[in-house]
Structure 1
């Protein structure tokens, strides 16, 4: 099987008219989420942002593609790189369970920046984004869980393939050129999961390089450069390098009939998705039983082993980056404060009682809390009080997944949190109106999406 040929045909054939109304509405919702995540990343990942901004602006000529929250314009590849850095900077961007990684940070950064440079219309952007989501989710899911167990981050390693395909789609490439864009991109696949353990501030480089190199790959392909044959299945290809076991069903099942953006999730909390089930379960228990933190003796979180591997190693965060990858800390914030927002990422700014609570939290491996086929990736939380009474709550599918989906009102609340200090309420409403009407007018050219 040549998965690249199968996917390139799908990307080439896809039209805006093929997309159900629900899918188009989801693109708008996920576009709004991308902007919210970028606001958050712009605010919290400041040291990294200043460094990449200085480098990118110094190395780049003026271009036609907008840098978010700025009046600067750069060449598409450089604008996509910088915008993806913002979008993944707070770990508040969307993702996909089966792919075990993030999507919008690289796909939207690619299609928006390139679309401005090419003069694409908004419906072309929507179509290319849907194609990019499918390519990323299908390629990454086919290689999971072996890919993450080897220490690779699918956001970067599969993201570059998706961005190459989406970019080639916007460039109006034929099927052969789309194939070669993807084939060229595999040799630039990169991204390691060490960024979940330490050095988390550099994690945005993974989607950022995927976006930049995806545009490069598509540009090379459009200028006649050819990649390798069987770039995924070859014995020296992407699949062989990334994983020991490949599930080709993930490539072909429902291709062109169902769309992966409709199966992706949106994050309500600024932390690794593996923390979300525990946060939600604790908040629900506090609400139902009126639990006060002072009376909590112990919190036991029964959760799937991969969550513990990725987000269960940091008990007491030393930095805001650590906080994003600590089930202990996020759960403690929920138990003591009744919320977990961007303001709690700095562990030095929370009450001592939060840090003390982390010592009462135990993570217990439970493989029944994850089932990829059924869309389950959750946990069971048991809280024991000082009198020995216990209450439990199970969250199999955290808020933000399609089965427990975000609404427009949810997105408005998320924007209010992310936009604090950047946009007034009036500006937020203008932005929401703009994002949720994206593509509603035939032939409307894409333009700067933020004020």
Structure 2
């Protein structure tokens, strides 16, 4: 914990090392769940982006092929593998996240750790412990700088995700406190990622996750070499917390070790859209199923929700699939039209559906200050559907499915993975084999990664 003679950065490193030494089986089992969820999202993302990722591999012209790249059947150097793994994991908006930190830790932390674990042939326990530490670092830092960081235009998955990836890689390499401090300093000066890349039809958002994984691996490499960083890269006059936010809360970093590991607070996504769209999607599906609605009956839709779910997510004109995943109006219209919000509802064929387009034009998203006031305790949406016969239907969702207070069941988590595995063409027996490795029934997760 922080003392008068202890810098914020040094306390952060010390607390992470203490956490690493004290982890119990409950936390490690949670890391197994996160790893399985990551693999499903990353394999499906790699399947959808194969052509562009193969072009990146070709363009970089790397001759070092030490590690595997998820879902491509290819090998690359350590940094490129981390980059592409992170991009794949975040591509379909199906990776995990944390509502208090507004960060996607798995897409950076696990993306970096898997190729490093393969290269170093580490055991399963070491990998799982590093995952928990990486989630802790990314989430606690994000909680210390949000929401000010988001208001400044930074993407937490790029900024805080880089710190999480670096700290997890550092502990996997067995770094002592001095080495891990240098790793932190290098990661902090690389931490980057702009929310501008989700605007105007841009599909660069996944790059923020990929570059964070890459930078985390690079930072850990630098930490091993023996460079010296500043005493307090977090709390200094021009330290990371002040750069990222006008309203930092450094005290949130002191919660490491005082509260349950932050990995227990993550959400798992049941829908293939930005998490801010999920309460409205869920409310739509509840009404559609309960009232047996046909989209032809719908005249207009209004979504009242919290402020952060309006800004950047209220657009009705969607320019491509990436833009559609960021749009609450599109997500609601797709859920009404198809009764689902899976990958199949966010593709060009679905986007061109005439009835979906008709309802999309009628969806209005507005902020409700009362709902904004409840964030982050709740992330709610109140949906009102007006039918052509004049009736009005309403549904409120305070916290969508997948939050720790409203979790996916173990069987739902397995079903999500199996569905994504089937999407990429893996036979059921291969999916079962992957589940056996991740669950601990069969040891050798790093070796499994090499075959994916």
Summarize the Cα distance change of 1:145–1:296 in structure 2 as closer, same or farther, 3 Å threshold. same
Contact 1:301–1:382 (CA under 8 A) maintained in structure 2: yes
Structure 2 residue aligned with 1:365, among 364, 367, 377?
367
Q: State the Cα RMSD in Å.
A: 2.0
* Cα separation, 2, equivalents of 1:326 and 1:274: 9
Aligned to 2:323: 322
Structure 1 residue aligned with 2:222, among 220, 223, 229?
220
1:445 is displaced (CA, Å) by 6.9
* Cα separation, 2, equivalents of 1:43 and 1:357: 31
* Cα separation, 1, equivalents of 2:258 and 2:180: 16
The 5 Å alignment of 1:387-402 reads 387-402=389-404
Q: Could you list the per-position Cα deviations for residues 56-114 of structure 1 after superposition, in whole angstroms to 9, with x for gaps in the alignment? A: 4x224121x22112443333222212211211111211111111121101100112111
Aligned to 1:6: 11
| Greater mean alpha carbon deviation, residues 66-75 or residues 132-141 | 66-75
Aligned to 1:430: 433
Structure 1 residue aligned with 2:161, among 159, 162, 166?
159
Q: Could you list the per-position Cα deviations for residues 254-291 of structure 1 after superposition, in whole angstroms to 9, with x for gaps in the alignment? A: 53541111101111111111111111001011112222
Structure 2 residue aligned with 1:279, among 278, 281, 295?
281
| Greater mean alpha carbon deviation, residues 404-413 or residues 170-179 | 404-413
* Cα separation, 1, equivalents of 2:146 and 2:445: 37
* Cα separation, 2, equivalents of 1:133 and 1:93: 13
Aligned to 2:44: 40
- Would you say 1:339 and 2:340 are equivalent positions? yes
The 5 Å alignment of 1:189-228 reads 189-198=191-200, 200-228=202-230
Q: Could you list the per-position Cα deviations for residues 131-176 of structure 1 after superposition, in whole angstroms to 9, with x for gaps in the alignment? A: 1101100111111111011110010111111111111101111112
Structure 2: gaps spanning 5 or more residues = none
Runs of 4+ in 1 over 6 A off after TM superposition: none
1:426 is displaced (CA, Å) by 2.4
* Cα separation, 2, equivalents of 1:199 and 1:59: 30
Summarize the Cα distance change of 1:139–1:372 in structure 2 as closer, same or farther, 3 Å threshold. farther
- Would you say 1:23 and 2:27 are equivalent positions? yes
Contact 1:303–1:363 (CA under 8 A) maintained in structure 2: yes
Structure 1 residue aligned with 2:293, among 281, 291, 294?
291
Structure 1 SS opposite 2:405: helix
Aligned to 1:386: 388
* Cα separation, 1, equivalents of 2:418 and 2:392: 36
Structure 1 SS opposite 2:107: helix
Structure 1 SS opposite 2:203: helix
- Calculate the TM-score normalised by the size of structure 1: 0.93
1:47 is displaced (CA, Å) by 5.2
Q: Could you list the per-position Cα deviations for residues 342-368 of structure 1 after superposition, in whole angstroms to 9, with x for gaps in the alignment? A: 112124445210111111211120133
| Greater mean alpha carbon deviation, residues 77-86 or residues 99-108 | 77-86
Structure 2 SS opposite 1:362: strand
Structure 2 SS opposite 1:394: strand
Structure 1: gaps spanning 5 or more residues = none
